[in-house]
A and B are shown apart, each in its own frame.
Chain A
Amino acid sequence: MTITQTDTAVLAVDGLRKIYNEGTDQANMAIDRVSFLVEKGEFVCIVGPSGAGKTTLLRCISGLAAPSAGSIAFEGEPLDSVPEQLGLVFQDYSRSLYPWFTNGKNVALPLAARGVPKSERAQRVTQALTSVGLGHVEKKYPWELSGGMQQRVAIARSLSYRPELLLMDEPFASVDAQTRFDLEDLILKVRRELGITVVLVTHDIDEAIYLSDRIVVLSKNPSVVKEVVTVPLGAERSQVETRSSETFLELRSHLLSLVMPNDD
Chain B
Amino acid sequence: MSMPAHGWIRWILPSLTVLVVLLFWELVTAAGVVSPLQFPSMTDSLEALWREFGSERLWSAVGATMLGWLIGMVITIVLGLVVGTALAFNGFARRSAAPVIELFKAIPSIAILPLVILVLGSTLPMKVFLICFAAFWPFVIQVIYGVQSMDPVVLDTSRALGVRGPRRFFWVSIPSASPYLVTGMRIASAQALILSIVAEIVGGAEGIGRNILLAQNSGTTAYPTMYAYIIVAGLLGILLTGAFFLMERRVMHWHESQRNIRASSKVGRA
A-side residues, CB < 8 A to B, are 59, 62, 64, 81-82, 84, 86-88, 90, 92, 95-96, 98-101, 109-110, 112-114, 141, 143, 157-158
Q: Do A110 and B254 touch across chains, with their CB atoms under 8 A apart?
A: no
Q: Complex formed: what's the CA distance from A64 to B156 in Å?
A: 7
Given contact pairs A90-B157, A113-B161, a sample of 6 additional A-B residue pairs in the complex whose CB atoms are under 8 Å apart: A64-B160, A90-B153, A95-B153, A99-B255, A100-B254, A110-B163
Q: Complex formed: what's the CA distance from A109 to B172 in Å?
A: 10
Min CB distance, B122 to chain A, in Å?
A: 44
Q: Do B151 and A95 touch across chains, with their CB atoms under 8 A apart?
A: yes
Chain B positions within 8 Å of A110 at CB level: 161-163
Contacts known (A100-B254, A141-B254); A109 close to B161, Cβ less than 8 A: yes
Q: Which residue of B lies closest to A97 (CB)?
A: B157
Q: Do A82 and B167 touch across chains, with their CB atoms under 8 A apart?
A: no
Q: Complex formed: what's the CA distance from A59 to B155 in Å?
A: 13
Q: Do B175 and A98 touch across chains, with their CB atoms under 8 A apart?
A: yes
- Verify if B171 is at the interface (C-beta below 8 Å from A): yes
Q: Do B153 and A96 touch across chains, with their CB atoms under 8 A apart?
A: yes
**Cβ < 8 Å to A, chain B residues 77-97:** none
Q: Which residue of B lies closest to A99 (CB)?
A: B254
Q: Contacting B161 at CB < 8 Å: which of A59, A95, A100, A157? A: A157
Q: Do B157 and A82 touch across chains, with their CB atoms under 8 A apart?
A: no
Min CB distance, B175 to chain A, in Å?
A: 4
23 contacts between A and B (CB under 8 A): A59-B156, A62-B160, A64-B156, A64-B159, A82-B162, A86-B160, A87-B160, A88-B157, A90-B153, A90-B156, A90-B157, A95-B151, A95-B154, A96-B157, A98-B176, A99-B254, A101-B175, A109-B161, A109-B171, A110-B161, A110-B163, A113-B164, A143-B254
Chain B positions within 8 Å of A114 at CB level: 162
Chain A positions within 8 Å of B255 at CB level: 99-100
Q: Which residue of A lies closest to B161 (CB)?
A: A110
Q: Do B154 and A96 touch across chains, with their CB atoms under 8 A apart?
A: yes
Q: Complex formed: what's the CA distance from A129 to B157 in Å?
A: 19
Q: Indicate the member of B153, B154, B161, B259 with the most A CB atoms within 10 Å.
A: B161
Chain A positions within 8 Å of B162 at CB level: 82, 84, 110, 113-114
B-side residues, CB < 8 A to A, are 151, 153-154, 156-157, 159-164, 167, 171-172, 175-176, 178, 254-255, 259
Q: Complex formed: what's the CA distance from A168 to B14 in Å?
A: 55
Chain B positions within 8 Å of A59 at CB level: 156
Q: Do A98 and B153 touch across chains, with their CB atoms under 8 A apart?
A: no
Min CB distance, A38 to chain B, in Å?
A: 18
Min CB distance, B245 to chain A, in Å?
A: 19
Chain B positions within 8 Å of A64 at CB level: 156, 159-160
Q: Indicate the member of B151, B171, B176 with the most A CB atoms within 10 Å.
A: B171
Chain B positions within 8 Å of A100 at CB level: 175-176, 178, 254-255
Q: Which residue of B lies closest to A167 (CB)?
A: B160
Chain A positions within 8 Å of B156 at CB level: 59, 64, 90, 96
Min CB distance, A169 to chain B, in Å?
A: 10
Q: Do B171 and A82 touch across chains, with their CB atoms under 8 A apart?
A: no
Chain B positions within 8 Å of A157 at CB level: 161
Q: Complex formed: what's the CA distance from A96 to B159 in Å?
A: 11
Chain B positions within 8 Å of A92 at CB level: 153
Q: Complex formed: what's the CA distance from A98 to B254 in Å?
A: 10
Q: Complex formed: what's the CA distance from A155 to B175 in Å?
A: 22
Q: Do A109 and B163 touch across chains, with their CB atoms under 8 A apart?
A: yes
Contacts known (A98-B175, A143-B259); A113 close to B154, Cβ less than 8 A: no
